Amino acid sequence: MANPTERDLEAHFREELFQRSEGKKSVLLPKEQYDEIISELTAIDKSSKKMPHEYYLLKKYEILKCGDVLKLIRRRTANEDPIYFATLEDTFDIIKRAHIATGHGGGDKMVKELSKKYANITHDAISIYKSLCIECQCKRKRPTTKGTVVRPILTKNFGSRSQVDLVDMQAIKQGNYKWIMVY
């Protein structure tokens, strides 16, 4: 099997993420829901009487205008840095950048890095990405095979006996070569 491409990994990541978040109330926002929240928040400012749902949105979210683009951020107090909400579709790229920035770090390093800027990247999404990272899979420790200790054969005459040992190199094979035979 050939190495999967970046698009294949992203497609598999999204499929797995959609599958896990399906049927559950998820903090990951699909693009449509993200845009809907932004449009509701912009409409709230114009209306005078607010519904309970609108109070909920105003308490939880804020809109940050970056040029022509509107970004959804967590409601902040005073001079806090903005913490963005990511769409479900952007999650792969965001996690990939954080994973590379942490030097292919583990889940805890990535959570620490991502929580500084993003409000809704889940541990589940991070673990899915880590399971797909090719470099991390290559670095991961392989289970060692425990063999029996062989006692040497002692003889009085040279060449009267011989012994063959096979060394299992499947964990770190060289091309098609998986074994070393020692005679």
Q: What's 127's domain CATH number?
A: 1.10.340.70
Q: How far apart are CA 180 and CA 176, in angstroms?
A: 12
Q: How far is CA 92 from CA 42, 115, 138, in A?
A: 28, 15, 20
Whether 92 is covered by a domain: the verdict is yes
DSSP state of 49: S
Give pLDDT, residue 2: 46
Residue entry with tokens 């845009």: 35
Whether 20 is covered by a domain: the verdict is yes
Whether 16 is covered by a domain: the verdict is yes
Per-position b or e across 95-122, b if 16+ CB within 10 A of its CB: bbebbeebeebeeebbbebbeeebbbbb
Whether 153 is covered by a domain: the verdict is no
Q: Would you list the DSSP string of 88-136?
A: TTTHHHHHHHHHHHTTS--HHHHHHHHHTTBS---HHHHHHHHHH-HHH
Amino acid at 150: V
Model confidence pLDDT, tens digit, residues 56-88: 888 888 888 888 888 898 888 888 888 999 888
> Residue 116's domain spans which residues?
6-139
Whether 179 is covered by a domain: the verdict is no
Number of domains in the chain: 1
pLDDT 10s digit of each residue in the chain, 183 long? 445 677 788 888 888 887 777 766 667 788 888 899 888 888 886 667 778 888 888 888 888 888 888 889 888 888 888 899 988 888 889 999 888 888 887 888 888 888 889 988 888 888 888 888 888 777 776 666 666 677 777 777 877 777 788 888 877 878 888 888 888
Whether 19 is covered by a domain: the verdict is yes
Whether 133 is covered by a domain: the verdict is yes
